[in-house]
Structure 1
Amino acid sequence: MNVFRKSIDFLIHGSVIVAASVFALVQATTIRMGLPYDPAVSWFAFFGTVVGYNFVKYDAIARAGKPKLSLKMKAFIALSFLSFLATGFFFFRLERFTQIVSVAVLGITALYTLPFFPNRKTARDWAGLKIYFVALSWVGVTVALPVLNSGAALTTDFYVMCVQRFILIVVLLFIFEIIDLAWDDPHLKTVPQQIGVGRTKWLGALLMVVLLALDLLKTHNNESIFWCNIAFGLSVVVCLFFANETRGKYYTMLFVESLTIWWWLAMEWTIR
């Protein structure tokens, strides 16, 4: 059991779970848009997420001083380095325009992580803006990249899905913000800090209703997938209402982040 827990912890802190969530959302986009599986975009998104999230996590540690290179830290460095090589490999298998868009998404991530102006905080410290930078990045990676790389037309379905994905990521981040409420700097002005936990939960539930209602605007629809979306939306809302400051790391970093993986697998099962 100890080995199993350590393995799960490594996958969590090495950003493998969140990368699997991104991979799943890319597949969800291809299914919803009727596109073929695209290994270049899928694995670029997966490995790029590992690199990006590990950089965000451990950049602060590096800035605070030379971190102790424990065996675990060396393993994270090795994982990040191999993921960086894989990201580069799949990047050069993307279409040229997709590469340009991916660089733009990288720019948003860099703005979120690095201070571009002297004596200025990073974008993740800008009051009230953190979740919107993250959501915009996820929309770019999980919706824009697979659609653009396929050469598909940018129909109404594409724009609706962009809005839906943005809403989804914002609501999922509400859960993280509620659980981190005791630790977050008050100057961050997260949604729960500004309107309270109860109102944040009801706002998230309302946004999920809007997300599901937007499905009615899509032309490429499937009844079985629609019910998968309903079940997924309810699962997100349940997780949101059960979120509180006493929840442990496994609640968000394992259980909540795996919801999108189960959503994708459910859709795969329904279309077979």
Structure 2
Amino acid sequence: MRTAPSDSPPILCLPGWGLGRGPLAALVSLLGAQWYDLPGYGRTGSSDTFGQAIQRLSNEAPRGTCLLGWSLGTMLALAAARLAPDVFSAVVAISPTPSFIRRPGWSLGLAPAQLAVFREQVRTDAPAALRRFIVEFNRGDLLAKEISRRLMREADTLPSTRVLTTGLDWLEETDLRAALPGLEVPILVFHGTADGLIPPAAGRWVAEHVAHGRFVAVEGAAHAPFCGREDFFVKEIRRFLQQVVPDGTGI
């Protein structure tokens, strides 16, 4: 994958946990982007650790790549850009957080006990757990019912329970707060103002703690703010890349 045309840096899209490519397919198509599946999904082999996953991404991506991630995909994208700033030209971070769970000094996350309950639900009945997850993280969105139906309809076939629980382990273990202030590549952050899973303040924190961050609030949107708003996202992403990526006008 390392041999991309130098005059048109590719955009690689990293989907979120559990749902695969489907929810982001319309946005990826409009952008002319490419896919980089999470480990264990689609064409990407599984990885035992978060560190292995970001090292593989950094090794396989063409130089000049812009990473576009959603939720867990964004955590991988940010960590990979910090690891290999010579490979990645920019990151578009949708619904990001430096830490998915609460920790000392970090209150903008899920209680560890809540994640433990959800992990057990996934082990017991993953399809049912995913359906509840979709409904819950869309609460508060002005398009909540429409988006929930769409995500359930468009979600990819679930990977193995082991892959799903590994992703939840990464969400529990990963804390990027110390790494992000050293991240030099430009970052565009989108966050729904009604996101009840990852608070908008977490996304704003990301934008404010990298060297070159920009925050875009998506009014009335929850955790999947791109759904039904793809044209707005495409306009903002293209403008961002034209400003920060050499030859970005070719994207």
TM-score of the aligned structures, taking structure 1 as reference length: 0.29
Which structure features the higher share of helix residues?
1
TM-score, normalised to structure 2's length? 0.31
Q: Which has the larger radius of gyration?
A: 1
